[in-house]
Amino acid sequence: MKSGRRQKQLSRLLVNGTLLLFVVLWTIPTMGIFISSFRNRDDIATSGWWNVFPHREWQPVGEIDPKALGVDPNQVMDIEGVQGTFEEFRAGIETPDGKRVTWIGNKRLGRVELQQQVWTTSWDFSLDNYEQVLGGQDFTFTSADGTVDVVPGDNMVGAFVNSLVVAIPATVIPILIAAFAAYAFAWMKFPGRRELFIMVVALQVVPLQIALVPILRDYRVLSLNGTFLGIWLAHTGFGLALATFLLYSYISSLPREILESAFVDGASHFTAFTQLVLPLSVPALASFAIFQFLWVWNDYLVALIFLGGNPEFELVTQRMAAIVGARGQDWHLLTAGAFVSMVLPLTVFFALQRYFLRGLLAGSVKG
């Protein structure tokens, strides 16, 4: 009995420990992006984001003039009780008392620094990166050597609004259409119901890439190319198959007695759907809403095909791609822009996560 209980506890500990490890590994990059988005360009270029945590670092505590010591950089030198060549002193040589002697500069004009390890943190945070990315404000940056650079801003507010304009309707429309279709497949009898449902399920294996060119040709004829309506319809068509299948699995598992009682009381299919099925299907609706919203928000290919490169309709993914192309070395801006693009999807997921698991398990168990 004790052996079985101990084995169960060990199994639970192993599972929880493994899940915790995956959570930590998954969270570390996000934490790195978040911290880097508040650091300035010089700090990101010279140190890692983990330096915001307490760590030991070499800092100068004294300075020595090599000429006053009379040492020859071309020979083996004796400085502060340690010997070494110029290359060794450039890399740094530790003294017996725990300090480090480092040659700074070249052989002719260099100096010798006496350094010591101290506990320190790098907490030079600011909102300048977000102001530059969101507001498009130009910033003057002074580097360590005194050089002054004027860095133009990148306005992501318009792209953020455009992504909202695309993502919200492209999530709501397929949910409404798929909910009606799922109810019909689950509770209504009509000719060809089985064949149509098989066709809907089969559409899930069709890659969307093969449909881009035919749809684009039809959009040109209908003058829908480069419009929000066109991309709404495209995302609706690409997401309908999964939405219908997911909602059908949930709606078909609802207790039959509830709907039969409604029909006995004289309710129509529309009344039963709006008054009973939709309120009971909130977990499945929220589950698909998470999938669809994240997919539409992070989409780049469909937006590029149907909206093109018009700055007026530029989405967050397109704006981020433009920033990467124009500012591939400006990690302080890339991290700020990346975290701005992550905030809303994370908010949606955490707001609907209580329904997520229930929606995924929809229809898996009956009885």
Do 75 and 213 have their domain in common?
no
Domain containing residue 237: 157-360
Print the SS3 string covering the chain: CHHHHHHHHHHHHHHHHHHHHHHHHHHHHHHHHHHHCCCCHHHHHHCCHHHHCCEEEEEEEEEECHHHHCCCCCCCEEECCEEECHHHHHHCEECCCCCEEEEECCCCCCEEEEEEEEEECCCCCCCHHHHHHHHCCCEEEECCCCCEEEECCCCCHHHHHHHHHHHHHHHHHHHHHHHHHHHHHHHCCCCCHHHHHHHHHHHHHCCCHHHHHHHHHHHHHHCCCCCHHHHHHHHHHHHHHHHHHHHHHHHCCCCHHHHHHHHHCCCCHHHHHHHHHHHHCHHHHHHHHHHHHHHHHCCCHHHHHHHCCCHHHCCHHHHHHHHHHHCCCCHHHHHHHHHHHHHHHHHHHHHHHHHHHHHHCCCCCCC
78/210 same-domain check: no
Would residue 147 count as lying in a domain? no
Q: What is the pLDDT of residues 50-93, one digit of tens each?
A: 888 887 888 888 888 887 777 888 888 888 788 888 888 888 88
pLDDT at 284 over 80: yes
CA distance 280 to 274: 10
Is 30 within the bounds of a domain? no
106 and 239: one domain?
no
Claim to verify: residue 289 and residue 186 sit in the same structural domain: yes
Asked if 162 and 304 sit in the same domain, the reply is: yes
Same domain, 290 and 205: yes
Do both 109 and 208 map to the same domain? no
Say whether both 60 and 168 belong to one domain: no
| Segment 296-302 mean pLDDT | 90
Tokens 């670092």, residue? 57
Question: Do residues 160 and 318 make contact, with C-beta atoms less than 8 angstroms apart?
Answer: no
CATH code of the domain in which 323 resides: 1.10.3720.10
Query: How far is C-alpha 297 from the chain's CA centre?
Result: 10
Same-domain check for residues 165 and 113: no
Mean pLDDT, residues 159-168 taken together: 90
96 shares its domain with 180: no
- What pTM was computed for the model? 0.72
Domain count, the chain: 2
> What Rg, from alpha-carbon coordinates, does the chain have?
31
Reported confidence tier of residue 166, pLDDT bands at 50, 70, 90: very high
Q: Quote the pLDDT of residue 313.
A: 83
Query: Among residues of the chain, what percentage have pLDDT more than 90?
Result: 10
**pLDDT (0 to 100) of residue 173:** 94
In a domain, 197, yes or no: yes
Write the pLDDT tens digit of every residue in 210-228: 888 889 899 889 888 888 9
**Interatomic CA distance for residues 221 and 247, integer angstroms:** 34
200 assigned to some structural domain: yes
Contact between 280 and 215 under an 8 Å Cβ cutoff? The reply is no
Residue type at 150 in one-letter notation: V
Q: Are residues 322 and 185 located together in one domain of the fold?
A: yes
Among 202, 156, 117, 143, which residue's Cα sits nearest to residue 37? 156
The reply to whether 107 and 172 lie within a common domain is no
User: What is d(CA 345, CA 291) in angstroms, rounded to the nearest whole number?
Assistant: 10
Measured distance CA(269)–CA(112) in Å, rounded = 86
Percent over 70 (pLDDT), the chain: 89
Query: What mean pLDDT do residues 339-367 have?
Result: 68
